[in-house]
């Protein structure tokens, strides 16, 4: 397999034009995810408050905000790991979703079996699961490590393996919680390239496009990978804009002065 083209994730007019075209095509589609006035309380802590948000198939949406703003909780609510205490949620069934965490959990077995076991538990025959696992490892350039112990991989390799495990299950929705926060620059680049490829590759015949909702503190990553940016503060959505509008300071300031302060690094 050829190495991923680094230019794929670099910002540029052609990439933004393609993103705008894809976004425009998705506008008329019904939402894949819809939250209406969703709240989430953990004891005395109100983690989410009145969140209303829609994400359509094929979109790539970034969640940003300070620590404790509700990004991770929102991802867990969408994935069904916790049930909202208020409001209404529409999302694909769990079997049609895949979620990656900052530090992926690896089974104490080989790289290939970390993928194949998940497919087998979903009902695939072992021979088919093993074959699809190898296809996924080739996709993320880890096929030569198929027989190694997964827990012995580097952090970047483990995150690529987690992406391969998700891709192999052919989800409609990919949720990622700070997927590159603990990685070095080279590993971040590799994971970002895969995230871009997964969401920009043409969907297979009969398959819906992959939708990505991810949380990130890396604003450069948000610019490279997101088509929309949702800014959260104290569990509330204060801005929801196309990526170019979000990073246009004048437009952002008119929508949410708090989000503008966050970009300036002045919001405590």
Residue 9's pLDDT band (cuts 50, 70, 90) = very low
- pLDDT for the residue 20: 52
CB 241 within 8 A of CB 222: no
**pTM of the predicted model as reported, rounded to 2 decimal places:** 0.85
Going along the chain from its start, the domains and CATH numbers come out as: 6-103+172-264 (3.40.50.300)
Model confidence over 220-229: pLDDT tens digits? 999 999 999 9
Closest CA to 102 of 185, 176, 199, 189: 176
The reported pLDDT for the residue numbered 200 is: 76
Q: What number is the average pLDDT over the span 12-20?
A: 48
d(CA 244, CA 23): 13
3-state class percentages of the chain: helix first, strand second, coil last, to nearest 5:
45, 25, 35
pLDDT tens digits for 184-218? Answer: 999 999 999 999 988 877 666 566 789 999 999 99
Angle subtended at Cα 255 by Cα 58 and Cα 267, rounded to the nearest 5 degrees: 100
């Amino acid at each position: 397999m050829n190495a991923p083209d680094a230019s794929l994730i670099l910002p540029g007019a052609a990439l933004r034009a393609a993103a705008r075209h894809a976004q425009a095509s998705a506008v008329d589609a019904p939402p894949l995810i819809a939250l209406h006035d969703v709240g989430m309380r953990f004891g005395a802590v109100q983690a989410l408050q009145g969140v209303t948000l829609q994400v359509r198939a094929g979109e790539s949406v970034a969640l940003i905000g300070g620590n404790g703003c509700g990004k991770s909780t929102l991802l867990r609510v969408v994935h069904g790991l916790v049930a909202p205490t208020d409001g209404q949620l529409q999302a694909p069934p769990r079997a049609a979703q895949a979620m990656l965490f900052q530090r992926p959990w690896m089974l104490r077995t080989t790289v290939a079996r970390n993928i194949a076991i998940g497919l087998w538990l979903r009902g695939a025959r072992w021979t088919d699961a093993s074959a699809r696992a190898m296809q996924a490892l080739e996709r993320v350039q880890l096929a030569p490590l198929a027989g190694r112990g997964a827990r012995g991989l580097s952090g970047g390799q483990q995150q690529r393996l987690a992406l391969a495990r998700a891709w192999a299950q052919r989800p409609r929705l990919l949720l990622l919680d700070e997927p590159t926060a603990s990685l070095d620059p080279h590993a971040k680049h590799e994971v970002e390239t895969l995230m871009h490829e997964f969401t920009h590759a043409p969907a297979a015949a009969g398959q819906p496009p992959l939708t990505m909702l991810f949380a990130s503190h890396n604003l450069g990553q948000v610019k490279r990978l997101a088509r929309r940016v949702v800014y959260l503060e104290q569990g509330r959505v204060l801005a929801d804009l196309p990526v170019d509008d979000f990073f246009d300071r004048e437009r952002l300031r008119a929508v949410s002065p708090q989000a503008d302060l966050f970009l300036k690094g002045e919001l405590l």
